[in-house]
């Protein structure tokens, strides 16, 4: 997969005069191997846009392209491309079944990826070995594979959610406010882990956050979203150092300064 391209994407809820336009004509390119940050306040439409990319919300208009295939209208084998776009949610409970061990949750994603890629069902031992490798990758002791999600801390559950997303062999990761529900003490560690994995694996990533300090730390490029529209975009340093829109300036003014924590 060679990046992700959004062309004039609209998301509308409802019909007629009472319809709510959550996303209004967004065009955005997430280049192959880069991290693009999508930043804006709560209600700006950024999470709705991310959900449209992975198919959790149906766009009312526009195109979402991967490998020149329109994912909105893809059918059959082409539709499998969308499964190579994996989302990491703010709340890891959204992807971790409380009735399953963390190892079983990861193994489920491994088997799903094998079915999608038609590589044959992995054996039980192959699944076990791959689960151990993935847990080690996200700095969780593989001996805890039989643990229930409820026995882990919030930061550990988010690490498991990252491992589960990686198990699906993604070409694109969507990270949606993945640190906002975590304690300040673990936010930086999770971000450092995600950034290290992105660089090591060459992943393409759309990183969604309300926190411009976090986006500045993680991303190569930044797109600023307000009221369903992109109001400014560019290289991360350009947007931070030379903002062109008043809304971007307001977000920058809210970044913690020296003596304050970078991660809210």
**176-200: pLDDT as tens digits:** 999 887 887 788 899 999 999 999 9
Supply 120's token pair: 């044959």
Q: How much is the pLDDT for 78? A: 63
The CATH architecture of the domain made up of 4-253 is 3-Layer(aba) Sandwich (3.40)
Please tell me the distance from the alpha carbon of residue 127 to that of residue 201, in angstroms, as a whole number.
20
- Sorted by where each begins, the domain ranges of the chain are 4-253
How many Cβ atoms are within 10 Å of 96's Cβ, its own excluded? 23
Q: How much is the pLDDT for 262? A: 46
Q: How much is the pLDDT for 192? A: 93
Would you give the end-to-end CA distance of the chain in angstroms? 33
Note the Cα 146 to chain centre separation in Å: 26
**% of the chain beyond a pLDDT of 70:** 94
DSSP 123: P
Which residues, listed in sequence order, are joined to residue 234 by a DSSP beta bridge?
Answer: 222
How many Cβ atoms are within 10 Å of 8's Cβ, its own excluded? 12
For residues 28-43, average pLDDT: 95
Which pLDDT band, with edges at 50, 70 and 90, does 77 fall under?
Answer: low
Query: What ranges make up the beta strands (E) of 35-148?
Result: 35-39, 61-66, 69-70, 85-88
* 261 has a pLDDT exceeding 70: no
Please tell me the distance from the alpha carbon of residue 205 to that of residue 221, in angstroms, as a whole number.
11
Q: How much is the pLDDT for 91? A: 87
Please tell me the distance from the alpha carbon of residue 172 to that of residue 206, in angstroms, as a whole number.
8
């Amino acid at each position: 997969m060679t990046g992700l391209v959004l062309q004039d994407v609209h998301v509308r809820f409802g019909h007629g005069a009472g319809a709510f336009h959550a996303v209004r004509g967004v065009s955005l390119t997430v280049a192959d191997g880069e991290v693009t940050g999508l930043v804006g306040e709560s209600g700006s439409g950024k999470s709705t846009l991310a959900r449209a990319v992975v198919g959790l919300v149906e766009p009312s208009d526009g195109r979402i392209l991967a490998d020149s295939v329109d994912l909105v209208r893809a059918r059959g084998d082409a539709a499998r491309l969308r499964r190579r776009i994996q989302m990491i949610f703010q709340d890891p409970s959204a992807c971790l079944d409380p009735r399953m061990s963390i190892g079983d949750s990861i193994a489920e994603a491994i088997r799903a990826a094998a079915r999608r890629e038609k590589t044959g069902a992995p054996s039980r031992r192959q699944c076990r070995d791959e689960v151990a490798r993935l847990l080690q990758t996200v700095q969780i002791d593989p001996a805890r594979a039989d643990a229930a999600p409820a026995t882990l801390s919030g930061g550990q559950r988010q690490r498991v959610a990252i491992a589960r997303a990686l198990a699906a062999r993604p070409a694109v990761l969507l990270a949606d406010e993945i640190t906002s529900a975590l304690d300040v003490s673990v936010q930086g560690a999770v971000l450092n882990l995600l950034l290290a994995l992105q660089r090591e694996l060459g992943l393409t990533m759309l990183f969604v956050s309300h926190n411009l300090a976090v986006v500045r730390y993680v991303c190569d490029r930044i797109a600023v979203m307000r009221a369903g529209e992109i109001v400014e975009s560019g290289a991360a340093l350009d947007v931070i150092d030379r903002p062109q829109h008043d809304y971007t300036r307001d977000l920058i003014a809210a970044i913690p300064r020296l003596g304050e924590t970078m991660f809210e």
